[in-house]
A and B are shown apart, each in its own frame.
Chain A
């Protein structure tokens, strides 16, 4: 850095022609400093991304037109056979329906409870920090381990924790939870919401805190009541964040897998079988990677449509 082009120091000519190749390279390098740094940093990241994100994404669609049993290579091309099966077979239609209902229920609970709780926690109340921490704690702990714990909590005998509580509080006999096609989906939703709602609360809180307090003061001076402030200031300003939370919540909710994989095994009678779980089971238990990837491809399509609809709704309303 401290050596300057020698010609300049000697007071000689500073025409470009008199600079050496090395000096001209340094001038060029300084002039193009920003693109150079950018490309040096981004090139390895782009290559990595192509291999581990875009290549698998392409293979996802390639594999969905093929059959592969993991062991024999290469996969065999089968055309639209996998899609035909997933779209026609009542088993897979049930799985798709489950995914939408269970994921939608979790999303709805998370958005309503999350937004309400964030509003409450954004006020001046006692022990605010403690409550915020409590809401986030279930997110911090391993979902796989907690799902396995739920199996113990839902033990059908009297020593199952939930049964114990019901006996203490309501005095009813032990319920055979794992066999109930009505209750197990409910528990799957409850567990997944329990586990993820803290994330939504934190997210909305961050959004609420980024609203300029001056707006609230101005509203107060103008004599607006609490409901008006909520309706005319808070909610309109939160719309981008609500959209973002809905999109990420939809992506997360439709990919629900912890509870089906670990808690219920998709049962009883397919009532909690979701697409990601079914994908995993088709690939690694039934050794049919083609069918698994087909479901993943269809889920990706559903997600894309869902996100697209939300964004176009957002644009139509606010632009």
Chain B
């Protein structure tokens, strides 16, 4: 009895201490965005805004700092998010259906073909991928042999052409298809339902948790995408996605001069602004998240 109580208290002490460590930088950022620079420089432990000062956000949004690039960056990022969300959901639903429900010659081989692609880390093939895009035939001034121009580098297709087949999402959805009964589909085929009716009317409602997990993962991945944009469109300011734009802004401010010259609150406001959409999305959908991941690696 006594031992149980001690364990219980220890559990909460651990969880609360860990939460403080995990949240401290985030709250620092959030609170720091509402104070003035004077207040910030007198900070102890964490900035505490006495009034809600939205001035820093105003500077960023209205662009009085010459940072209006952030809004454009956000636009590009939103377009990318929509593109990758629709594409990966479609690929996962169709590909997952094919590998879970259909029988066809070469199925095992094709499944391994895609699954082994999952084992190839995207970042390790970034340099040859850069080369493929830079030497892409007939793109960006290239001739049919891919020579002469700059290909897709610093062009908008570079932001949309990679990662169109999301194998991880497909694998996740396939595992969840496997757990569903097949009777509904058989009944629907008897009634003359086509492929899209079967997938979108019958399976999508049943797959909602895993699809939510895919939405969270793809949204967060695309919103925060940094490395490939740095490689591919760093030379074109009109195409900078939000993560690259904010990181560059913080960098340029923090190297400007001494502590007194660094506009800390503006930095925190930009970082908070860029972190808000993924956090809100996660908070809204997280109920399904763990549920949607159940089944990964069980029958892999």
Chain A residues near B (Cβ < 8 Å):
1, 34-35, 37-39, 41-42, 45-46, 48-49, 51-60, 62-63, 68, 70, 73, 117, 120-121, 123, 125-126, 131-153, 155, 157, 159, 161, 164-165, 168, 194, 198, 202-203, 205-207, 209-210, 240-241, 243-244, 251, 255, 257-258, 262, 276, 279-280, 283-284, 289, 292-293, 296, 299-300, 303, 307
Contact = CB atoms under 8 A, between A and B. Distances in A.
Contacts of B11: 120, 123, 125
28 contacts: A35-B103, A48-B164, A49-B114, A49-B165, A53-B117, A59-B131, A60-B124, A121-B15, A131-B15, A141-B275, A143-B224, A144-B247, A145-B224, A155-B259, A164-B43, A168-B45, A194-B22, A240-B300, A241-B297, A251-B119, A257-B123, A258-B226, A262-B247, A280-B231, A292-B127, A296-B127, A300-B120, A300-B124
Contacts of B43: 159, 164
A48 B127 contact: no
Contacts of A262: 247, 251
A209 B15 contact: no
B125 A296 contact: yes
A206 B293 contact: yes
Given A120-B11, A125-B12, A280-B231, 20 more contacts: A35-B102, A49-B113, A57-B128, A59-B132, A70-B134, A73-B147, A123-B11, A125-B11, A133-B283, A134-B22, A138-B22, A148-B246, A157-B259, A198-B22, A202-B289, A206-B294, A240-B297, A240-B300, A276-B123, A293-B127
B295 to A, nearest CB: 7
Contacts of B103: 34-35
A143 B271 CA distance: 11
A149 B25 CA distance: 9
B220 A140 contact: yes
A120 B15 contact: yes
B92 to A, nearest CB: 11
Contact of B243 (A46, A52, A142): A142
B67 interface: no
Contact of B247 (A62, A68, A145): A145
Given A137-B23, A142-B274, A276-B123, A210 B295 contact: yes
B128 A293 contact: yes
Contacts of B244: 144
A240 B34 CA distance: 47
A145 B271 contact: yes
A51 B163 CA distance: 11
A237 to B, nearest CB: 10
A60 B110 contact: no
Interface of B: 11-12, 14-15, 18-19, 21-23, 25-26, 28-29, 41, 43-45, 91, 94-95, 98, 102-105, 107, 110, 113-114, 117, 119-121, 123-132, 134-135, 147, 161-162, 164-165, 192, 195, 220, 223-224, 226-227, 231, 243-244, 246-247, 250-251, 254, 259, 262, 264, 267, 271, 274-275, 278-279, 282-283, 286, 289-290, 293-298, 300
B132 A307 contact: no
A142 B28 contact: no
A142 B113 contact: no
A168 B300 contact: no
B74 to A, nearest CB: 13
Contacts of B195: 37
- Interface-central residue, B41, B244, B271, B283, by most chain A CB under 10 Å: B271
A57 B290 contact: no
B127 A279 contact: yes
**Main DSSP-derived SS at the B contact region:** helix
B282 A41 contact: no
Contacts of B243: 142, 144-145
A206 B290 contact: yes
**Main DSSP-derived SS at the A contact region:** helix
- Interface-central residue, B19, B162, B267, by most chain A CB under 10 Å: B19
A203 B267 CA distance: 33
A51 B107 CA distance: 21
Given A45-B91, A142-B224, A148-B250, A206 B127 contact: no
Given A52-B162, A60-B128, A134-B22, A149 B250 contact: yes
Given A136-B282, A164-B45, A257-B123, A145 B246 contact: yes
Nearest to A116: B14
A194 B125 CA distance: 26
B22 A135 contact: yes
A258 B243 CA distance: 12
A210 B179 CA distance: 12
A140 B282 contact: yes
Contacts of A139: 220
Question: Considering the complex of A and B, which 8 residue pairs feature the smallest CB-CB distances, nearest first?
Answer: A59-B128, A35-B104, A244-B297, A56-B128, A142-B224, A144-B226, A206-B293, A56-B125
B114 A299 contact: no
Nearest to A139: B220
A34 B195 CA distance: 10
B259 to A, nearest CB: 5
B23 A45 contact: no
B289 to A, nearest CB: 7
Contact of A206 (B14, B164, B259, B296): B296
A151 to B, nearest CB: 6
Contact of B110 (A42, A142, A149): A42
B279 A296 contact: no
Given A46-B113, A125-B11, A206-B294, A38 B107 contact: yes
